Amino acid sequence: MREPEWLVARAGIITHTAGQGRWLFLLDNVRRVALSFVWAGSQSTLDNLPGRPLFDLLQVAGLILGLVWIARGWRSSAVGHRLLAWLVVMAAPSILTGEAPSFERMANLMPAAAAVVAIGWAELWQWVGRHVTLAGWQRTLIACSWVVASLGIHAYAYWVQYPLSPTLRTDYTAATTDLMRQLVERSDTEAVFVGRLPKAENAVFTDFFMPSTAVHYLDFQQCLPLTDRRDVRTTYLVMPERSPEAVEQLTAVYPRAKVIPFPSESEWLVDDMMLIEVPPQTPIPLTLLSGQARFEPGLELFGYAWSGPTVQPGQSVFLTLYWRALADLKTDYTAFVHLTVGSFDSPPAAQRDGQPCQGMYPTSLWREGDVVPDSFAVTIPTDAPPGEYSLVIGWYSYPSLTRLPLAAAEQPLPENRAVLASIRVVP
């Protein structure tokens, strides 16, 4: 009630009532819907055996006789009026939209259509009783055989022919469904990362399967964890059209990875996908600046990349620190970078605190072999005097602010800190 535009949004998208040729379009849809009762039905495998009409020949006989009954008693039969109005109103969703006839959109007319068929059969029953001399048990046997024959025709169509439709699995996105379930099962024994695109309209499929599972469902444009010599396989599922950078980075870092294209079965549900499988014990050959710093209980600086050692006041130093998990971590930790000048005991001129990977992949999820990039910027104060500055790194628990013990570093500092690099602020 508070958002009425969402109530009618879908109807507004699929309804065709404006534009040139709309009356011809509607008349053609009326013809298609009318013929779908007796001749050619919906072509969509999602809701029908393609082309099969709603009714078989035995039911068509009842439908015709029922409509004759409504026409003959038009002036006096309120039941006839209601049934015909029901049929017209509930056929409208298919008449007003594309891809007519759509049995899914016509579902609400079926009770009325079934009632018309039943009236026709009853009329036929009474006619046989008046004009054909048969014993009561004979008439009953004929009636039961009639109904059973109709049931048999439908059962054969939808239990035997329908499952053999060549496009059934594709239309129901069975292969995509199987892939998603397989990834969820894999995540119990190996690391599985699935790319998530919050602004993608057709990410419905992955949104349905991934939450509340062990799959790491991440926006690869913001956070792309890597793996180094993990004991088990690591799997990535990427949408290459929307995350080409992720595909390029993974295939460049892991040239031995197995790349499996996965064409989409339904574009409105999910884009084309690519499965990238990294074998066990695969090293990560990143070309990075080296920097040694190891913190307990198992966090090691794998290397870093940055915008350079020279910067002006008011500008930013852009950093990407690559942290490697030496053991399975169970707690969420926060990393910090301080910009210091002169004595390391003085307050930092600038700092950045935060969980790596924009907080999307907290350390409590890290397992041995993870290499997680942490990209951010440290802005130099506008009044910073020229000179040599140091970038100092460390970790702490929040909210206690207890720092993680520094186990080893090239340039260790008191209070469990380590010098990452030096920068020069120039005029």
Query: What's the CA gap between 400 and 390, in Å, rounded?
Result: 26
Residue 202: the pLDDT is 59
Structural domain includes residue 284:
no
Phi-psi region at 241: left, alpha or beta (left = phi > 0; alpha = psi -120 to 50): alpha
What are the beta bridge partners of residue 298? none
Residue 51 sits in the same domain as residue 159: yes
Residue 151 sits in the same domain as residue 188: no
Phi-psi region at 387: left, alpha or beta (left = phi > 0; alpha = psi -120 to 50): left
User: Is omega for the bond preceding 399 within 30 degrees of 0, making it cis?
Assistant: yes
The residues, ordered by sequence, that sit 6+ positions from 236 with a Cβ below 8 Å of its Cβ are 193, 194, 195, 246, 250, 275, 276, 277, 278
Structural domain includes residue 183:
yes
Q: What is the mean pLDDT of residues 240-249?
A: 90
pTM for the predicted model, two decimal places: 0.73
CATH of the domain at 373: 2.70.50.60
Structural domain includes residue 286:
no
pLDDT digits (tens, 9 = 90+) for 54-66: 999 999 999 999 9
Nearest to 275 by CA among 262, 256, 264: 262
pLDDT digits (tens, 9 = 90+) for 152-197: 999 999 999 999 988 888 888 888 889 999 999 999 999 999 998 7
Query: Which has more pLDDT, 205 or 288?
Result: 288
Are 302 and 289 a contacting pair, CB within 8 Å?
no
- How many structural domains are present in the chain? 3
Query: What's the CA gap between 228 and 283, in Å, rounded?
Result: 5
Residue 106 sits in the same domain as residue 129: yes
Residue 47: the pLDDT is 84
Residue 165 sits in the same domain as residue 198: no
Residue 252 sits in the same domain as residue 358: no
Nearest to 109 by CA among 180, 45, 191, 36: 36
DSSP conformational letter for 59 = H
Residue 232 sits in the same domain as residue 304: no
Residue 18 sits in the same domain as residue 157: yes
Structural domain includes residue 390:
yes
Which of 169, 198, 222 is where one domain is finished? Answer: 169
Residue 10 has pLDDT above 70, yes or no: yes
- Cα dihedral value 233, 239, 240, 246, nearest 10: -50
Which of 253, 278, 303 is where one domain is finished? Answer: 278
Structural domain includes residue 285:
no
Which of 147, 169, 191 is where one domain is finished? Answer: 169
* pLDDT grade for 45, boundaries at 50, 70 and 90: confident
**Mean of the per-residue pLDDT values for the chain?**
90
Structural domain includes residue 189:
yes
Residue 165 sits in the same domain as residue 266: no
Residue 12 sits in the same domain as residue 151: yes
Query: What's the CA gap between 228 and 372, in Å, rounded?
Result: 10
Query: Which has more pLDDT, 32 or 286?
Result: 32
Structural domain includes residue 412:
yes
Residue 322: the pLDDT is 95
Residue 96 sits in the same domain as residue 10: yes
* pLDDT grade for 1, boundaries at 50, 70 and 90: confident
Structural domain includes residue 231:
yes
For residue 22, the number of C-alpha atoms closer than 13 Å in the C-beta half-sphere is: 8
pLDDT above 70: percentage of residues in the chain: 97
Residue 204: the pLDDT is 66
Residue 265 sits in the same domain as residue 353: no
Residue 134 sits in the same domain as residue 13: yes
Residue 203 has pLDDT above 70, yes or no: no
Range of the domain at 387: 293-425
pLDDT digits (tens, 9 = 90+) for 65-75: 999 999 998 88
